Amino acid sequence: MIRVLIVDDSGFMRNAISSMISSDPEIQVVGIARDGIEAVEKVALLKPDIVTLDVEMPRMNGIEALKQIMAKYPLPVLMVSSITTEGAKTTLDALEIGAVDFIPKNLADLSINIIKIKEILIDKIKTIGRKGLVRNIARKSYKPLAMPSQTQHISHRRISVVAIGSSTGGPKALQNIITMIPKDFPVPILIAQHMPPSFTGPFAERLNQLSAVEVKEAEHGEPIKKGVVYIAPGRGHMEIIRRKLTETSISISEGRGEYIYRPSVDLLMLSVVENFSGHVLGVILTGLGNDGSKGMKEIKNKGGRTIAESEKTCIVYGMPRSVIEAGNADKIVPLDEIAGEIINSV
């Protein structure tokens, strides 16, 4: 049984979350708390496997409660965050402090897409609750690595673009990687991270502030440039298209119903391979599900290179597992070595 503590000042949200997750026989709601003070007390008393923690609460908010929980009783915490831009910034603060992931708090979606939200929430709680807290993956400083003086391309094609896919646990993993990329990195980096629309902009801004390379939320129609990191907007899917012989640009689309994850890692990677063939480096990071497995397979089949994050540093091993078990990972490395592998590949 995965033992869950629900923390929220809204009776409606407490009941909604409890009702959704209690329907699974492997999950037990062991308690509820109405504010941050109660949350810290009940974590100590009940010793749950995982906590869902609201951000805005009276007496003590979720951020202050999270700080105390991580200092005294470290365990996996899922933040329950509003989908506003301000909510996104607060959630990114929470991930920096130690929360493993977040649940967007959108009452409209809760009533319209209740079945989908329920499935995602149960999957996150069961997967993260079973594994427990993954420690020591956040870097304390953001000093980038240096480009090697000479890169060897023995038996490999030269890499022209890097495509990265991630989901649950991805924001912290991406921060670890992108802040290590040097300013003179010679190729573009394209990232599909599963996130709500209001989150990807603030996330790109934060990475840009911490990194030596330029990081931005991708815009429809803009050409891709070397040394720039493009974050796919959460409102749709990101592809690249060849407009001219020497110019490749970004396309953002909101349709493509055949892709259940948004923004789709597979769609991004497949479009990159279509335009750059074997000159692609694909990287798959922590996340639920199998998004990216088709894209990584195609990268490998066309002669590109592929890297998967190893299980020991993944918050959730689903996406890397699907690539590794299919035999489509050239290298399997822990998170703190991935930036070095990317730099050495170009």
Give the pLDDT confidence of 97-155 residue by residue, as tens digits: 999 998 877 655 655 566 777 888 999 999 999 988 886 555 556 678 888 766 554 44
Each residue's pLDDT tens digit, 208-246: 999 999 999 999 999 999 999 999 999 889 999 987 667
Which of residues 329 and 138 earns the better pLDDT score? 329
Is the confidence at residue 160, as pLDDT, over 60?
yes
Three-state secondary structure of 214-266: EEEECCCCCECCCCEEEECCCCCEEEEEEEECCEEEEEEECCCCCCCCCCCHH
Distance from CA of residue 201 to its chain's centroid? Answer: 14
Q: Is 50 exposed, middle or buried (0-12, 13-18, 19+ CB in 10 A)?
A: buried
Confidence of residue 257 (pLDDT cuts 50, 70, 90): low
Query: Picking from 3-12, 18-27, 29-38, 147-156, which range would have the lowest pLDDT averaged per residue?
Result: 147-156
Q: Is 123 a catalytic residue?
A: no
**Residue found under tokens 């977040």:** 102
In the chain, the domains with their CATH numbers are 2-131 (3.40.50.2300), 161-345 (3.40.50.180)
Contact of 76 with 124, CB cutoff 8 Å:
no
The one catalytic residue among 167, 198, 264, 293: 167
Which of residues 85 and 267 earns the better pLDDT score? 267
Complete edge-to-edge strand list for the sheet that includes strand 2-7:
27-33, 2-7, 50-54, 77-82, 101-105
Contact of 298 with 269, CB cutoff 8 Å:
yes
Query: Token pair of 45, please?
Result: 């008393």
Contact of 67 with 43, CB cutoff 8 Å:
no
Each residue's pLDDT tens digit, 308-322: 999 999 999 999 999
pLDDT for res 155: 44
pTM, two decimals, is 0.91
Angstrom distance (rounded) from CA 315 to CA 213:
26
The one catalytic residue among 291, 293, 322, 345: 291
Query: Token pair of 235, please?
Result: 């409102």
**Residue found under tokens 């629309």:** 197
Confidence of residue 87 (pLDDT cuts 50, 70, 90): confident
Instruction: Map residue 180 onto helix, strand or coil.
Output: coil
DSSP 171: H
Q: Is 9 a catalytic residue?
A: no
Confidence of residue 75 (pLDDT cuts 50, 70, 90): very high
Angstrom distance (rounded) from CA 93 to CA 114:
27
Is the confidence at residue 177, as pLDDT, over 70?
yes
The one catalytic residue among 101, 194, 211, 271: 194
Phi–psi pair at 212, nearest 5 degrees: -80, -35
Mean pLDDT of 35-60: 96
pLDDT for res 141: 62
Share of the chain above pLDDT 90, in %: 74
State the Cα angle at 126 between 120 and 131, rounded to 5°. 125
Angstrom distance (rounded) from CA 247 to CA 223:
7
Angstrom distance (rounded) from CA 240 to CA 252:
9
Q: Is 149 a catalytic residue?
A: no
Each residue's pLDDT tens digit, 270-300: 999 999 999 999 999 999 999 999 999 999 9
